[in-house]
A and B are shown apart, each in its own frame.
Chain A
Amino acid sequence: MTVQADDIDLMKRIHRHDQQAFRLLYQQYGKAAYSLAYRVLQNTTQAEEVTQDAFMKVWQQQTRWDPDKGQLRNWLLTITHFTAIDRLRRERRQPNLHPESIEDMEEMLSSRSDSLWQDDTVLRMLIQQLPAEQVALIDLAFFRGMSHSEIAAETRLPLGTVKTRLRSGLQRLRELWVETTKLPTLQS
């Protein structure tokens, strides 16, 4: 069976309340989910709670996976990501990010690069090609779930500047990502 067929079978069993299937789901994807939750929250206790909340949403069938729309792994990580962002917003705090300026933030992200990106990933390589200020803004938007105005307040940049730089950064990152993922040698 392919991974997708295995995943479809696994989710069917979970819908039939098969606890062993649920354990298998966690064993396959729990580490990736926990790692993502930790990346967002920067706190082990909260990362555990968010990972548990995300998997409980699957068990309780609050949302259903559609194989037509993508892989089970990506769906689970999206649930985990949104659950972690919700947790951050609920607590109205930003973990370990209290820089005085955008420059401080750039320096912090640069110095902590190893703890923010997995080695040898395409995205890490691509991110390093962007200006540090754009990386900082993308990080706040994607991994902290901040709005334009929240980012402007956090970085003390004008709102218009945040919008322009973030758009440029995302457009450039997409261009680099598309170019790279079309190269067979880098796809693996």
Chain B
Amino acid sequence: MSSTQQPQPVLNCDDLLELIPAYAFGLASPKEQQQVESGLTTCPEATAQLADYRRMQDDLRESVPQIEPPPALEDRLMAAIAAEPPARRRMPQVHRAWWAAAAAVVALVFSNVYWISRSSSAPPKAPDTNSHPILVQGDSSFVLTSSREIRWVRLPSAQKNTDATAVLMWNVESEIGLLYVRGFPPLSAGKTFQLWLTMGDAKLSAGTFQVDETGSGALLFNVTAPIDEYTWARITEEPEQGSSEPGEAVVVVGEL
């Protein structure tokens, strides 16, 4: 392990404040970056100053002289997008095995979820002839169509020094998705994990789930709009019955 990956001692607030300008402007060394990121939670003034610098940077970008771009630029840009439809994140080959493992865990975690391959003799719903494995939980089903139509995103840990990670998978334009988590911390008594999806200013609950003794768990969820339309996902620890709004204990969070 290189020296830059060693945990750095937490700085006191005064020392931290000295590093904030360089950190905000991308001038801090890797060691200083780590010190700032470790110390922000214990120094509210540093967090506030960092927010000031971010807003000031927005103002700096707005303070440049305004120049009309060449009229042809708009036409070139429109021609460029017409020639290149928006690319969406697709499931790379390397992740297919991982996906299969995730799906298998779903089958283990949920007693009312069934993992049925195309070779199964009795699928609960007739799958499309082009479809791949199907997962069913209650009235919801998640069918893997071709890999081109699968979207997925990894949600990294929101906290330092944890291995918690999660993967969300869904089919294009579908409201049904599959969540698989691993490395999650054990839940306290009376607690559950809750998945939230963000659309605009709203954070909508997509369901609650537990994890096993290894920190792995899964959730087949069904939301009201195509998952493509949500922008962020996060998982929080909440009271056992679930919450109406996400609390502070965020385990993983990421952009969709």
Contacts and interface: CB of A to CB of B under 8 A. Distances in A.
A66 interface: yes
B126 interface: no
B231 A67 contact: yes
B61 A167 contact: no
A156 interface: no
B56 A174 contact: yes
Interface in A136-188: 141-142, 145, 147-148, 163, 166-167, 170-171, 173-174, 177-178
Interface stretch (A53-61, A90-98, A100-108): A53-61
A173 B56 contact: yes
A123 B65 CA distance: 12
Interface residues of B, number: 48
A61 B86 contact: yes
Nearest to A127: B63
Interface residues of A, number: 63
A39 B64 contact: yes
Contact of B65 (A74, A118, A147): A118
Contacts of A174: 21, 49, 52-53, 56
A52 B80 contact: yes
Given A19-B78, A121-B63, A66 B70 contact: no
Interface of A: 5, 8, 12, 14-15, 17, 19, 22-23, 26-27, 30-32, 34-36, 38-39, 44, 47-48, 51-52, 55-56, 59-61, 63-68, 70, 74, 77-78, 81, 114-118, 121-124, 141-142, 145, 147-148, 163, 166-167, 170-171, 173-174, 177-178
Interface of B: 18, 21-22, 24-27, 49, 52-53, 56-70, 73-74, 76-78, 80-82, 84-89, 198, 200-201, 228-229, 231-232, 255-256
Given A118-B64, A123-B59, A167-B18, 14 more contacts: A15-B228, A19-B78, A36-B64, A51-B73, A56-B84, A60-B86, A61-B87, A64-B255, A66-B232, A117-B63, A148-B27, A166-B22, A170-B53, A174-B56
Q: Which 3 A-B pairs have the closest CB atoms?
A: A34-B69, A170-B21, A39-B64
